Chain A
């Protein structure tokens, strides 16, 4: 924060409003932490009211949720495994969001990424495993990138609403997967559940040493950190943030908004496609209907909870992975439907979106209001 308005004799450690620069910095950051956390707490309180209304004990519910999600090393590993695809799925929402686009069709990119990776993995059978795994990753990213990149291109060059088109493309992608998995790519041996041919064991991705969690978690964390660097520290990220604020202003600045939008959406889809590839290479071993497991939709929630900040996606994805992981235990121990978790997610989502209206309203965080009160 440089001083531009106050008189020359004011020391540089003071911000524009006459308060110490450090204090302003803390106040701004504190707002970004306190409001989402408070919203999370309010959402959980509302959910406990709901649980109490249907005649169950909220205390027992949260206790069960804690035990199922984070209470033991076993459950933590389970939560991390479920959080891994959410990291990449959330990036598929967060990156376009920085450009002001609401893309909600990540599920389609995940599904196609998985199918492309499985097809390449089978086609290259016999080649060294490092080459095949790399090729699978590239294929998954390319499939997802083309899919969501097309959404971005349609948005910019044809003004087609990206929210609806991405969702339609997700339905089309799932139909395409079913067609491929039932038809040309089908393994004749898969009778009950049509699948592509299983990957050879050497092409499977294993676990991180010392954990029962596959390498997808590490890939997801690295991807989140890289995206944070891209958005906050590079000129492309800076340009994207300008275009996200005001497209006209960005164009007047001479920024190539079109390539920027297509590039960011393609990268976002690439990450979702990578999530599909990891799901095939590390979990399923082949592409089948299980790819459409809803990670793309939970990823939307993760990205909004993290307010589209790639670093914040990491804890939020693990938190939601934990909530997800505890669903089975809640169902068994408390005799509640498996949709209980969905209700909680919906409530959290609504409260978090509502909390957007609170930014800048609280005196404690807003130094302008301090000044006015003084």
Chain B
């Protein structure tokens, strides 16, 4: 079938497909960051974790020929980065935001350092499920080729949303995030809870990185991340620390990110770079619209330095 035959209908279709493809790393990073922030710390280093996770996943997948082992390795590497952040931030006067910036630099540096030999070889990809097989229009098929990680991410956001409300672990994380003193009065150690929460957050960010290098764009380069790890932090604020909100916001961001390529595919090339900046502009507008100088954000964890 001729590629131009569906004409302008290709734009919303490409945006839908792009939203599903592009949003997956956002989903994992923002869910990870939501867990960390709910416990009262902010980890800006997830950007570095994402890049290092992408490299680890790709390298392990090349060496073992298994994308799933790569995914596991990325999660483990992310866990280490998260635990390191959680550990170092327990010391007094150590600023969690600044440590995050340092880990961003360190994680990317380490990934480029070890990733050099893996720029050339080809790794096996994570599998996708062709939900579009019923249609014989190639664009529909392409748009509905959904990676398993997207489905796992969707399920995970539902589970986390439920767990924060209904489980003991969810309650513990929320208490620690809202008031260290209340947590101590309950006999909880806030530093331990935050250590675990930051570790889990790092592991999820590592999985997000694995998706980047093992599915879309599906190769390891030093430019693999375009700030997804940082935008996810803004996205969590926009989502009001609600896992379901994170999922919806990630889809929105994915769609915004797919706007430029989608328009280009139907021949709109004017302002390509500005469309490319659409997710950043959207994030900024949302942050301006949802912040207020007079009241604190609804649903914000009380111990979070970013909302104080």
Query: Which residues of chain B (73-101) have a CB below 8 Å from chain A?
Result: 88, 91-95, 97-99, 101
CA distance A161 to B44 in the complex (A): 13
Q: Mark B260-303, 1 if CB is under 8 A from A, else 0.
A: 00000000000111101100110110011001110000000000
In the assembled complex, the Cα of A337 lies from the Cα of B115 at a distance in Å of: 9
Q: Beyond A102-B98, A353-B98, is A301–B105 a contact (Cβ under 8 Å)?
A: yes
B138 within 8 A of A: no
Which chain B residues numbered 215 to 236 have a C-beta less than 8 Å away from chain A? 226-227, 230-231, 233-234
Beyond A102-B97, A171-B280, A357-B93, is A346–B102 a contact (Cβ under 8 Å)? yes
CB-CB nearest in chain B for A175 = B277
A347 to B99, CA, bound (A): 11
B94 lies within 8 A of A353 (CB): yes
When each residue 85-114 of chain A gets 1 if its CB lies under 8 Å from chain B and 0 otherwise, what string results?
000000000000000001010000000000
User: Which stretch of B62-70, B106-114, B160-168, B240-248 is in the interface?
Assistant: B106-114
Report whether B234 and A168 are in contact in the complex, using a CB–CB cutoff of 8 Å.
yes
Interface status of A182 (Cβ within 8 A of chain B): yes
Interface string of A198-234 (1 = CB under 8 A from B): 0000000000000000000000000000000000000
Chain B residues whose C-beta falls within 8 Å of the C-beta of A354 in the assembled complex: 88, 91, 94
Q: How many A-B contacts are there with CB distance less than 8 Å?
A: 134
Is B184 engaged at the interface, CB distance under 8 Å to the other chain? no
Q: Flag if A175 contacts B99 (CB, 8 Å).
A: no
With a CB–CB cut-off of 8 A, which chain A residues contact B108? 342, 346
Give the complex CA separation of A342 and B111 in angstroms: 10
CB proximity to B under 8 Å, residues A343-374: 343, 345-347, 349-350, 353-354, 356-357, 359
The answer to whether A160 has its CB under 8 Å from any CB of chain B is yes
Judge whether A357 and B92 touch: CB under 8 Å.
yes
User: How far is the CB of B90 from the nearest CB of chain A, in Å?
Assistant: 10
Cα distance A171–B306 when bound, in Å?
21
Task: Flag the segment in A10-18, A22-30, A133-141, A150-158 that touches B.
Answer: A150-158
> Cα distance A178–B271 when bound, in Å?
10
Q: Cβ of A340: which chain B residues have Cβ within 8 Å of it?
A: 113
> How many angstroms between the C-alpha atoms of A165 and B283 in the bound complex?
9
State whether A168 and B231 are in contact (beta carbons under 8 Å apart), knowing that A346-B110, A353-B95 are contacts in the complex. Answer: yes
B293's nearest neighbour on chain A, judged by CB, is: A159
Count of chain A residues near B, Cβ 8 A: 44
- Report yes or no: A346 in contact with B105, Cβ–Cβ below 8 A: yes
Check A175–B273 contact: CB distance below 8 A: yes
Find residues 219-261 in chain A having any chain B CB closer than 8 Å to their own CB: none
In whole angstroms, how far apart are the Cα atoms of A169 and B293 in the complex? 20
**Residues in B neighbouring A178, C-beta threshold 8 A:** 273, 276
Select from chain B the residue with minimum beta-carbon distance to A97.
B98
Known: A171-B277, A350-B102, A357-B91. A160 touches B291 (CB 8 A): yes
Confirm or deny: A287 has a beta carbon within 8 angstroms of a beta carbon on chain B.
no
**B109 close to A339 (CB less than 8 A):** yes
Chain A residues, CB < 8 A from B102: 301, 304, 346, 349-350, 353
> Are A171 and B227 CB-contacts (below 8 A) given A345-B105, A350-B102, A350-B103?
yes
Assess the A343–B231 pair: CB atoms within 8 A. Answer: no
Q: List, in ascending order, chain B residues with CB within 8 A of A167's CB.
A: 227, 230
B233 to A, closest residue via Cβ: A164
Contact indicator A342/B281 (Cβ below 8 Å):
no
A174 to chain B, nearest CB (A): 8
A residues contacting B by CB (< 8 A) are 102, 104, 154, 156-161, 163-165, 167-169, 171-172, 175-176, 178-179, 182, 297, 300-301, 304, 336-343, 345-347, 349-350, 353-354, 356-357, 359
- State the B residues within 8 Å of A (CB): 44, 88, 91-95, 97-99, 101-103, 105-113, 116, 226-227, 230-231, 233-234, 237, 271-274, 276-277, 280-281, 283-284, 287-288, 291-293, 306
